[in-house]
Amino acid sequence: MSTDPDWALYRTLLSVLDEGSLSAAARALGLTQPTVARHVDALEAALGADLFVRSQRGLEPTDLALSVRPHARIMATTAAALLRTASGGDGAVSGIVRITASDVVGVEHLPPVLTQLRRAHPGLVIELSLSDRVSDLLAREADIAIRMTEPTQSALLARRLPSVELGLHAHRDYLADRGMPDTADDLSGHDLIGYDTRTPALRTMAARLPWLDWRGFALRTDSNLAQLAAIRAGFGIGMCQVVVARREPVLTRVLPDITLPLPLWIVMHEDLKTNTRYRVVFNALAHGLGTSTDPINTNGTVT
């Protein structure tokens, strides 16, 4: 390496790799295409090797570009975390906090919690990332995560939330048309809503619950929000959170003996517990999602 490349060059490289072209990367970064091309050329000159092969199909990343990519991703994540941390005043409940949660939790549970939090602390800015992927808190992809699996890393601070009960539900109009199943065996005669990708965990679950069989689903999607929307629309019978279904009189519980408890955890990096902003948000989320009926401790005590 002849020079120490500027971080901006790696950011541009990452965008080109993610977006697939110079023009798309330019749009994503708010730059011009010639500027993006110059960044790539400058990084190639600094590294002394090609990062892309130009062809009629566009840019093809070299092995070097692919090997550099995860390191550039870490740099981008760290830079974003640095800016979030620096966005708040010393000891003040203000600045940016990035939260990651599943799509259903983010859409069905968090909005009122975040609304109250913002009213109490108008200096807060919330970044909400909805994904079922387990974000890497150690790499600071997010500051606080709401997870459906117990965290195992020792550097994380975690609090167990009340489990979420899943049960079978259907729109009352669907049941009026097709009838209410009396047993699990009766489900084979209904339009079932379920998953698309057969992961090992779902295969294990299906082995214990024969009705949860991919082959019997009339609608297959890995989006929990899409499954919930299909249940609401009267497509058929599907699994959703009992607490969400109870809010809608048109949804009826089917075979209530079939229930699946879903564990819920709120997690953040241990290094953040001394920061007032993160402690307050952590406690507000824990309180709002039902760990206790006590008022939120605005001093930010985390237990």
From 2.60.40.2140, 3.40.50.720, 3.30.420.10, 3.40.190.10, which CATH number describes the 90-162+264-288 domain?
3.40.190.10
Give the domain 164-261 fold: D-Maltodextrin-Binding Protein; domain 2 (3.40.190)
Nearest to 121 by CA among 96, 149, 93: 93
Write down the pLDDT at residue 262: 86
Question: pLDDT (tens digit, 0 to 9) for every residue of the chain, 303 residues total?
Answer: 456 778 888 889 889 998 988 999 999 899 999 999 999 999 888 888 899 987 777 788 998 889 888 888 888 777 777 776 776 666 668 888 999 999 999 999 999 999 999 999 999 999 998 887 766 665 678 889 998 887 777 678 888 999 999 999 999 999 999 999 999 999 989 999 999 987 776 777 777 777 777 788 999 999 999 999 999 999 999 999 999 999 999 999 999 999 888 889 999 888 788 888 889 999 999 999 985 433 333 334 444
In degrees and rounded to multiples of 5, residue 191 shows phi and psi of: -85, 110
- Would you tell me the crossing angle of helices 276-288 and 110-120 to the nearest 10 degrees? 140
For residue range 214-234, list pLDDT tens digits in order: 788 999 999 999 999 999 999
Residue 191 makes CB contacts below 8 A (sequence gap 6+) with 174, 178, 218, 219, 235, 236, 237
Q: How far is it, in rounded angstroms, from Cα 270 to Cα 175?
A: 49
Residue 178 makes CB contacts below 8 A (sequence gap 6+) with 190, 191
**How distant is the alpha carbon of residue 60 from its chain centre?**
30
Nearest to 144 by CA among 265, 268, 288: 268
Nearest to 181 by CA among 224, 232, 238, 240: 238
Label the pairing between strands 156-171 and 237-241. antiparallel
> According to CATH, where is 3.40.190.10 located in the chain?
90-162+264-288, 164-261
Q: What is the CATH number of domain 7-85?
A: 1.10.10.10
> According to CATH, where is 1.10.10.10 located in the chain?
7-85
Write down the pLDDT at residue 302: 44
